[in-house]
Structure 1
Amino acid sequence: MSIRFCLALAGLAISAPALAQEGSAPPPPPEAPSDPRADFVIAGAGAVVLPDFEGSSDYGFTAAPGAIGQVDGFRFLLAGNRFSVDLIRDGYGPTWDVQAGPIAVVNFNRINNDAISDPRVALLAERSLALEVGGYVGIGKTGVLTSDYDRLSATLSYRHDVTGVHKSGIWAPTLAYTTPLSTKALVGIFVSAEIVGDGYGQTYFSVTPAEAAVSGLPAYQADGGFKNWTLGSAFAHSLTGDLTGGLQLVAGGTYRKLVGDFGDSPIVAIAGSRDQWLGAVGLAYSF
């Protein structure tokens, strides 16, 4: 079994639950003992069920792309609204990997009230599309517990709104583990959290007096801080060939818990839910 393709597919599997949801998964890079800088791409698309808005108890479907690959020794990850690049070319060490590079997330939260089922939240002011840009660092190790191909990685990312929508930053630490079950299947789990600035809380979780008068929700002022923790899992199974190439079925899901000012916001506590679920299933092809 090729370590490169096994870990690359693991990265795509871990990314699947993060499609259209920012900051939920790390970019675990692929690796190959024979030539760790060889070019490759694994690309796919999937159907995602996710909340109408962050904190909603109503859900809808969307489609999202996913891809992971390497060009000239630089690894990249596309997971729905998230894109990152690892700018550290790895040497020929078989087990350790250091990661660092840029990351960008497009935040679609509450940009279209027509897509929000709850009539009270739909009466709040729409938010503009936000672009959050920053970077991440991380370290990973292969051959940890179950085989030469399992992987444990830890990453820390920071991104900041550059469009002036919420004008604040987001810290996101993540710990992920993936392991093959056979030459045709692998599973992964991850845990992550988000710490956000005051502007994020005010933009997406506060209710102004004017909005309260229109919607019937009580006025509320949210500050920044520890926003949520997330637990997720992912699964990939080869439909043609094995994990080293061909068509793959990729699926995953996450549970996210909103806490503090964010969970206490009337947008969440009254009109929505602190418990957030997300699921994705799709196909990927390696070439």
Structure 2
Amino acid sequence: MKFLAVVALVAAAGSASAQDFGLAGRDVSVELGLGAQGRPVYPGSDDTDAAPWLIWQNFQIGTGGNPQGFSFSPSFSSIGERDPSDDDALAGMDQIDRAYELGGKVSYGQGPVTAYGTIRRGFGGHEGVVGELGTTYRTDLSDRVTLWSGVEFGWGSSEYSETYFGVTPAESVTSGYPEYAPGGGFNSAAIKFRARYALNDRTAIMGEVEYGRLIGDAADSPIVEDKYQPALRLGIVRKFSFGF
């Protein structure tokens, strides 16, 4: 689990330099979890499969709750490998290794509304820059049940877009698709709904429904079979706290 190893290294590095960043005497907490998700076989596929869901959320310094004003936190993500054998539509296309993305997130909370933006650099499968812009609305139904609804726009650099939506001259010969070189920019729009049920103060069950659509150059790629990209996720998270 390379992703979890990276998280552990980041936490260790943060602990070692807490004094430098003014964290001494304060608590840092984060929720980490694991679950399963049903998602498109590859970006643009009209078929779905099951995959692990790695959860990193609610990175906080100091008191808990719903942060107000500006806050900053790390941002991590990963994209599974794309193998031509995964889908008949990928026949003749190159294999893409699993990608890991590391970066940061800035959020601004005002009451139940939070706006956020992320930026990450890819390693492995792609070496582009990606991110999201979005907003969520939080509803506390009870002490245990919390709901979030929101919209999110995803974007990526030309390096990212060419990796997952482009068709090189060599791939055009082997796959039969026309050559395609997409540019960078916004590539997806999604409506998201998330629910959390707290089992206790540190452990919770999470569920998420996402209804996304490819837009821009990504949507025009010849390998895209379906512009609409729904996803369903279910997992369990646990809160970890570190005192400095």
- Tell me the TM-score normalized by structure 1: 0.65
Post-superposition shift, 1:275?
Answer: 0.2
Post-superposition shift, 1:109?
Answer: 4.7
CA distance in 2 between counterparts of 1:236 and 1:273 reads 30
Post-superposition shift, 1:264?
Answer: 0.7
CA distance in 2 between counterparts of 1:106 and 1:281 reads 17
Residue deviations 1:12-64, cap 9 Å, x none? Answer: xxxxxxxxxxxxxxxxxxxxxxxxx5566655432210111111111001233
Q: Given the superposition, is the C-alpha separation of residues 135 and 249 from structure 1 closer, same or farther in structure 2, using an over 3 Å criterion?
A: closer
Q: Tell me the residue number matched to 2:220.
A: 264
The alignment status of 1:157 with 2:118, answered yes or no, reads yes
CA distance in 2 between counterparts of 1:65 and 1:195 reads 21
Q: Tell me the residue number matched to 1:193.
A: 153
Q: Tell me the residue number matched to 1:205.
A: 165
CA distance in 2 between counterparts of 1:94 and 1:259 reads 32
Residues 68-107 of structure 1: matches in 2 within 5 Å?
68=57, 75=59, 89-90=61-62, 96-107=68-79
Q: Given the superposition, is the C-alpha separation of residues 152 and 90 from structure 1 closer, same or farther in structure 2, using an over 3 Å criterion?
A: farther
In structure 2, the residue corresponding to 1:120 is in which secondary structure? helix
CA distance in 2 between counterparts of 1:61 and 1:94 reads 31
- Tell me the TM-score normalized by structure 2: 0.75
Q: Tell me the residue number matched to 1:276.
A: 229
Post-superposition shift, 1:106?
Answer: 2.6
Q: Given the superposition, is the C-alpha separation of residues 177 and 93 from structure 1 closer, same or farther in structure 2, using an over 3 Å criterion?
A: closer
Q: Tell me the residue number matched to 2:46.
A: 57
CA distance in 1 between counterparts of 2:222 and 2:174 reads 14
- Could you tell me whether the CA contact under 8 Å between 1:245 and 1:285 is conserved in 2? no
The alignment status of 1:173 with 2:120, answered yes or no, reads no
Q: Any gaps of 5 or more consecutive residues in structure 2?
A: 1-25
User: More strand per residue: 1 or 2?
Assistant: 2
Residue 84 (structure 2) aligned to one of 86, 103, 113: 113
Residue deviations 1:59-102, cap 9 Å, x none? Answer: 00123343546xxxxx3xxxxxxxxxx5xx45799972421233
Post-superposition shift, 1:217?
Answer: 2.3
CA distance in 1 between counterparts of 2:153 and 2:235 reads 25
Q: Tell me the residue number matched to 1:66.
A: 55
Q: Given the superposition, is the C-alpha separation of residues 155 and 208 from structure 1 closer, same or farther in structure 2, using an over 3 Å criterion?
A: same
Residue deviations 1:207-255, cap 9 Å, x none? Answer: 12321222222222211122111110011234x5xxx537643211101
The alignment status of 1:46 with 2:61, answered yes or no, reads no
- Could you tell me whether the CA contact under 8 Å between 2:56 and 2:76 is conserved in 1? no
CA distance in 2 between counterparts of 1:197 and 1:180 reads 37
Post-superposition shift, 1:189?
Answer: 0.8
- Could you tell me whether the CA contact under 8 Å between 2:53 and 2:233 is conserved in 1? no
Residue 245 (structure 1) aligned to one of 176, 201, 207: 201
In structure 1, the residue corresponding to 2:89 is in which secondary structure? helix
- Could you tell me whether the CA contact under 8 Å between 2:81 and 2:95 is conserved in 1? no
- Could you tell me whether the CA contact under 8 Å between 2:165 and 2:218 is conserved in 1? yes
Amino acid at match of 1:265: S
Q: Tell me the residue number matched to 1:131.
A: 100
Post-superposition shift, 1:108?
Answer: 2.3
In structure 2, the residue corresponding to 1:191 is in which secondary structure? strand
CA distance in 1 between counterparts of 2:88 and 2:81 reads 16
Amino acid at match of 2:226: S
Q: Tell me the residue number matched to 1:18.
A: none
> Could you say what the CA RMSD is over the residues aligned between the two structures, in angstroms?
3.0
Q: How many pairs are equivalent?
A: 216
Q: Any gaps of 5 or more consecutive residues in structure 1?
A: 1-36, 70-74, 76-85, 145-150
The alignment status of 1:231 with 2:191, answered yes or no, reads yes
- Could you tell me whether the CA contact under 8 Å between 1:180 and 1:187 is conserved in 2? yes
Amino acid at match of 1:225: G
